Amino acid sequence: MSFLFRLPDIGEGLEEAEIVEWLVAPGDVVSRDQALVEVLTDKASSELPSPVAGTVIRLGAAEGDRLTVGEVLIELDDGSEPAEPTDAPDWSTADVVPAPKPTDVVEPGGGVPGRVKAAPSTRKLARDLDVDLNALTGSGPGGRIAAEDVRAASAPAGTAADSADHARPAGDLGRMSPGRHPLRGVRGVVARNMARSWSEVPHIHSMDEIDASMLVDFRRRLRGMDRPGASSVTPLTIAAAAAARALRLFPMVNACIEGSPGESIIVHGSVNLGIAVSTDSGLVVPVVRDADLLDLFDLAGAIADLASRGRDGTLTAADLAGGTFTITNYGSLGGRWATPLIVPGQAAILGLGAIADRPLVVDGEVVARPTLPIVLGADHRLIDGDLSSAFRRAITEDLLEPLRLLVGG
């Protein structure tokens, strides 16, 4: 049987050797350990002894040649039976049973069963879009929630109106079982925003109650007109139009303080009115962009559309973004006075109480008139009493004589 003696690494990391002198020739009978050849490496000159006894068949290289470790040095016939040529075993790799392929790949990242799985970046996205992760079914490995799942959820719903925890019929208002509940989803978002507003923004609230007779009459007469959008004009609409005009007169109110307690004043370029809408899932504030550029009827139509979509749960993230000033019609739930909190990123909020007949002094006499309580909440870092009064007066003037909104002035 042919035995191939391949050049070994005899010096701990050598890669080749030069044949200096052959000590045997083809046809020679050699004994085991008999010196076959002298080779020269970087480290030393060495004689290589025969691993087997046998007859030399052929030399693998000539004197002066350089061989790489692993190349055949010499072929010997070791006199044994089987036909296959064999090599001397490589001492450093022989006999280790190859490792079987792992059958059970453990997914990195871990996680505890029961808690929703999502990448930190996905969680941030969910926070930014006000999506409740717990309500979603993930499309990623192991039910992991992917960014696409979050975006898809925010597109139709926007405020996790499909969350089982939060979609409650009106009859369940205020109902919650005793015990500890995680503060998550819409409630969590609201809580964070309220806390931030409360702690970062020093609010001043200034209030006034005005004679709403002209307002009510104006609205009644508009409703009778054959004009698209006329029937949607409400006192809220009129107040919104008045606010949009006032914001153009006093740009400092269409602004916000950045940072806490504050590093810069950002004065917004557009007037984007947020209109607070109460829905089954809670309070949402969709935004009418460039409200000052819309006429009264278009503004009414836009507000009506946002309100209805808010109630349907079909608002998008774009609908909720970019507000510069907010109006909250808290009076629609009843009530005369309130101290609304400013939406983070804004500097003021206008609150409208319920219009109702109340005592008023006209020409020295106490009479019953419809009155409208209004509250202006303002960021006192930016807006002092004189500005807030002036701003409020500007709105009040338009509410007292709504015709001004149609004809300017």
Partner 1 sequence: MTAPSDARLRDIFVDMLIARTQAGRLWNLQRQGQVGPVAPLDGHEATIVGAAHALDPEHDWVVPQYREPLGLRRYGPEILERFMLYNLGHPAGGHIPEPIRVLPNQIALATQIPHAVGIAWGMTLRGEPGVALAFFGDGSSSEGDFYEAGNLAGVLGAPVIMLCVNNQWAISTPVHLQTAADSFAAKAAAFGIPGVLVDGNDASAVYDAVDEARSRALAGRGPTLIEATLYRLGAHTTADDPTRYVPAEDLEAARRDDPLLRLRGYLEDRGLWDDGAQEATEVEALELLDRALDRARAEPLAPGSLLDHCYATDTPRLTRQRADLTGGSER
Partner 2 sequence: MSGTASDGPGGTSDLTMVQAINETLHAEMERDERVVLLGQDVARNGGVFRATEGLVEKFGDRRVVDMPISEAAIAGATVGLAIAGLVPVAEIQFLGFSYQAMHQLAGQVARLRYRTRSRFEPAITIRAPFGGGVRTPELHSDSLEGQFANIPGLKIAMPATADDAKGLLAASIREPDPVLFLEPLRGYRGIRGPVPDGEHVVPLGVARAARQGDDVVVIAWSYQVELACRAADTLRGEGLSVGVLDLRTLVPLDVEAITEVVCHCGRAVVVQESPETSGFASEIVATIVDECFWSLEAPVVRVSGYDVPYPVGRLEDLYVPDEARIIAAIRRVLDSA
Kindly list the distances between the CA atom of residue 74 and the CA atoms of 61, 77, 221, 295, in Å, as whole numbers in the listed order. 8, 10, 114, 100
Q: Does 321 bind partner 2 (CB under 8 A)?
A: no
Q: Interface with partner 2 includes 117 (CB under 8 A)?
A: yes
Which is closer to partner 2, CB of 117 or CB of 268?
Answer: 117
Q: Does 108 bind partner 2 (CB under 8 A)?
A: yes
Contact (CB, 8 A) for 352 and 340: no
Question: By C-beta, is 17 or 116 nearer to partner 2?
Answer: 116
Partner from partner 1, partner 2, none contacting 144, C-beta within 5 to 8 A by type: partner 2
Name which of partner 2, partner 1, none residue 5 binds, using a CB cut-off of 5 to 8 Å depending on partner kind.
partner 1
Residue 95 touches which of partner 2, partner 1, none (Cβ within 5-8 Å per kind): partner 1
Q: Look at residues 125, 127, 130 and name the one whose alpha carbon lies nearest to residue 284.
A: 130
Contact call for residues 205 and 377 (beta carbons, < 8 A): yes
115 near partner 2, judged by CB under 8 A: yes
Indicate if 166 belongs to the active site: no
Do the Cβ atoms of 48 and 67 come closer than 8 Å?
A: no
| Residue range at the interface with partner 2 (CB under 8 A); choices 114-122, 291-299, 313-321, 384-392 | 114-122
From the list partner 2, partner 1, none, partner contacted by residue 119 (C-beta under 5 to 8 A by kind): partner 2
Max CA distance (Å), the chain: 140
* Residue 60 binding result from partner 1, partner 2, none, given CB thresholds of 5 to 8 Å by partner type: none
Is 10 or 387 the residue whose CB approaches partner 1 more closely? Answer: 10
Q: Which two tokens stand for residue 190?
A: 């609201």
Q: Does 111 bind partner 2 (CB under 8 A)?
A: yes
Cβ partners under 8 Å of residue 39, min gap 6? 7, 17, 18, 19, 20, 45, 46, 47, 48, 67
Q: Which two tokens stand for residue 316?
A: 């998008």
Residue type, 398: D
- Cα–Cα distance between 13 and 183 in angstroms, integer? 63
Which residue's CB is nearer to partner 1, number 82 or number 259? 82
Provide DSSP, 363-382: TTEEEEEEEEEEEEEEETTT
> Per CB under 8 A, which region of 67-75, 88-96, 107-115, 370-378 contacts partner 2?
107-115
Residues that bind partner 1 (CB under 8 A): 5-12, 33, 43-51, 88-92, 94-104, 106
184 binds partner 2 (CB under 8 A): no
Residue with tokens 């109006």: 327
Contact between 263 and partner 2 per CB under 8 A: no
Query: Structure tokens of 287?
Result: 């935004």
Catalytic residue among 181, 203, 205, 380: 380
- CB of residue 30 to partner 1, shortest distance in Å: 13
Least distance in angstroms from the C-beta of 111 to partner 2: 5
Q: Is residue 112 close enough to count as binding partner 2 by CB under 8 A?
A: yes
Q: Is 261 in the site for partner 2 (CB under 8 A)?
A: no
Contact partner, 123, from partner 1, partner 2, none, Cβ < 5-8 Å per class: partner 2
Q: Would you say 238 and 360 are in contact if contact means Cβ atoms under 8 Å apart?
A: no
Question: Would you say 159 or 234 has its CB closer to partner 2?
Answer: 159
- Euclidean distance between CA atoms 261 and 82, whole angstroms: 90
Q: Of 37, 118, 150, 300, which lies in the binding site for partner 2, with binding defined by CB under 8 A?
A: 118
Q: Does residue 317 interact with partner 2 by CB under 8 A? A: no
- Is 192 an interacting residue with respect to partner 2 (CB under 8 A)? yes
Between CA 158 and CA 151 the distance in angstroms is 9
The β-bridge relationship of strands 365-379 and 287-288 is unpaired
For residues 10 and 405, what is the distance between their CA atoms, to the nearest angstrom?
A: 99
Residue 124 binds partner 2 (CB under 8 A):
yes
Q: Considering the rule CB under 8 A, would residue 1 count as an interface residue with partner 2?
A: no
Which residue, 44 or 191, has its beta carbon nearer to partner 1? Answer: 44
Query: Taking the alpha carbons of 40, 46, 52, 55 in that order, is the dihedral positive or negative?
Result: positive
DSSP code of 118? B
Q: How far is CA 92 from CA 12, 13, 88, in A?
A: 12, 13, 12
Q: How far apart are the first and last CA of the chain?
A: 114
Q: Exactly one of 6, 66, 123, 381 binds partner 2 (CB under 8 A); which one?
A: 123
**Residues labelled as active-site residues:** 380
Binding region for partner 2 (CB under 8 A): 108-112, 115-120, 123-124, 127, 144, 192
